[in-house]
């Protein structure tokens, strides 16, 4: 990352590393116990008001406080006021956090709004937690898409052990001064969808411009990666990007047409440590060690690589299964029903998948079983089966059928092995 990052995308003063304490600061520290005693009655009233409003309160000492906010944040919020329930996944350590922030301008183009909504939907379908700021524009689109993705995952029986994803919104003021009012119904829907709307400010705190900049460190802090969909050169999204960089989060930007609306994105993409985001597979590097979402992204990437090289997913398997007799996904179900469960490597060995572009390879030959196109074909088949709900991926890298499939297997060929 270039050395002038901090100058180009400045953080609020509270986020900068402090100098050694001055005499005045030491004096203030010595008076802290007295000030805390004076503030205690107000704090007790604030907690009571928050709880009477249906909010839960997490202090930095509580076991349920998000561990990720303690990773590379020099000033984590001492208290979080929570409407709803923080998803359990948000409690993971930063390295294993299946959460992605999606942020951008309030005055977004129609294309960017659609892009953000589609992205939120796909993330939630695969079990991610979508983090954003509940602002108008990109934030609201990402939250709404995540709600749609959760519904799609629940109704479609998605087989990932992570279950359907959800979304968390971070406010720039207290819950009692909700802003923007236009998104209040969206906030209610988030809470009803096992998500949460959180704030570090007491409910009676009115939003202020500096608070929105301050809350951005929480948006990036709760995320393993941050994606900037559309941002001007000076914007809240660019402030979030600066926080992400300082916190060591993966940072990606959507490329766009040159001009003021996308000036922030294009500026970010000049930085060597900022990735290009076009589709979900671009998140693989950030989430490859986060199960189970990393495994899903790996399969998406394998399918895209196969497509990029002009390869169609292999449909041919070695004898005793006759070539072209059944789609590979159906053959995989048949084999899993007989084996009970298996790893991807075991399935490759069992099926002896070969490349379609080598029609003369002898039946039963295993020399192509580990080829990239063979792996891509199996990855595509397994992903299709998970989306259909026929196959479940377990945490130890194994796959098994979801119970007993209703009716006879669809178009399966007998496996005499």
Q: What is the pLDDT of residues 187-226, one digit of tens each?
A: 999 999 999 999 999 999 999 999 999 999 999 999 999 9
Q: Where are the beta strands (DSSP E) in 219-263?
A: 225-228, 250-253
Look at phi and psi of residue 181 and say left if phi exceeds 0, alpha if psi is from -120 to 50, else beta.
Answer: alpha
Q: How confident is the model at residue 368 (pLDDT cuts 50, 70, 90)?
A: very low
Least confident range of 89-93, 164-168, 259-263, 317-321: 317-321
Contact by Cβ (8 Å): 275, 252: yes
Each residue's pLDDT tens digit, 271-305: 889 999 999 989 999 999 998 898 888 888 877 77
Give this prediction's pTM: 0.70
Position 107 pLDDT exceeds 80: yes
Over residues 138-143, mean pLDDT: 96
147: Cα separation from own chain's centroid: 13
Residue-by-residue DSSP string for 197-212: EEESS-TTPPP-HHHH
Q: Where are the domains of the chain?
A: 47-277, 294-401
- Which residues, in sequence order, are bridge partners of residue 343? 398
Distance (Å, whole) CA 247 – CA 217: 8
- Domain 47-277 falls in which CATH fold? Rossmann fold (3.40.50)
**Structure token pair of residue 116:** 């953000």
Please, what is the Cα angle at 179 between 174 and 181, to 5 degrees?
Answer: 130
Each residue's pLDDT tens digit, 52-96: 878 999 999 999 999 999 887 878 999 999 999 999 999 898 889
**Element (H or E) spanning 83, and its range?**
strand 79-84
Distance (Å, whole) CA 222 – CA 129: 10
């Amino acid at each position: 990352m270039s050395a002038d990052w901090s100058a180009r995308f400045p953080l609020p003063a509270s986020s900068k590393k402090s100098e050694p304490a001055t005499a005045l600061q030491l004096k203030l520290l010595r008076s802290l116990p007295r000030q805390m005693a004076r503030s205690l009655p107000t704090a007790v009233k604030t907690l009571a008001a928050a709880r009477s409003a249906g909010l839960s309160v997490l202090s930095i000492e509580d076991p349920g406080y998000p561990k990720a906010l303690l990773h590379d944040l020099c000033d984590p919020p001492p208290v979080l006021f929570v409407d709803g329930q923080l998803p359990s996944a948000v409690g993971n350590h930063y390295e294993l956090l299946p959460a992605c922030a999606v942020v951008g301008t309030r005055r977004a183009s129609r294309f960017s709004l659609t892009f953000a909504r589609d992205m939120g939907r796909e993330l939630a379908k695969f079990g991610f937690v979508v983090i954003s700021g509940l602002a108008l524009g990109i934030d609201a689109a990402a939250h709404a898409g995540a709600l749609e993705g959760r519904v799609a995952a629940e109704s479609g029986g998605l087989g990932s052990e992570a279950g359907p994803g959800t979304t968390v919104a971070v406010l720039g003021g207290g819950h009692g001064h909700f802003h923007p009012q236009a998104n209040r119904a969206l906030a209610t829907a988030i809470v009803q969808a096992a998500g949460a709307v959180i704030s570090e400010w007491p409910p009676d705190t009115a939003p202020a411009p500096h608070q929105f900049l301050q809350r951005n460190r929480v948006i990036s802090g709760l995320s393993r990666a941050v994606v900037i969909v559309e941002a001007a050169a000076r914007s809240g999204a660019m402030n979030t990007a600066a926080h992400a960089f300082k916190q060591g989060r993966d940072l990606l930007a959507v490329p766009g047409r040159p001009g003021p609306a996308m000036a922030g994105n294009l500026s970010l993409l000049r930085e060597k440590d900022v990735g290009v985001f076009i589709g979900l597979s671009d998140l693989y590097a950030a989430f490859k060690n986060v199960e189970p979402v990393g495994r899903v992204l790996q399969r998406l990437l394998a399918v895209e690589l196969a497509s990029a090289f002009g390869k169609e997913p292999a449909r041919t398997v070695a004898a005793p299964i006759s070539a072209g007799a059944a789609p590979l996904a159906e053959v995989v179900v048949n084999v899993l029903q007989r084996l009970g469960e298996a790893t991807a490597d075991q399935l490759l060995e069992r099926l002896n998948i070969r490349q379609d572009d080598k029609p003369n390879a002898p039946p039963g030959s295993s020399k192509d079983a580990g080829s990239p196109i063979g792996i891509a074909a199996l990855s595509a088949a397994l992903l299709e089966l998970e989306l259909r709900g026929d196959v479940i991926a377990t945490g130890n890298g194994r796959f098994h059928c979801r119970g007993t499939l209703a009716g006879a297997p669809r178009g399966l060929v007998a496996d005499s092995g």
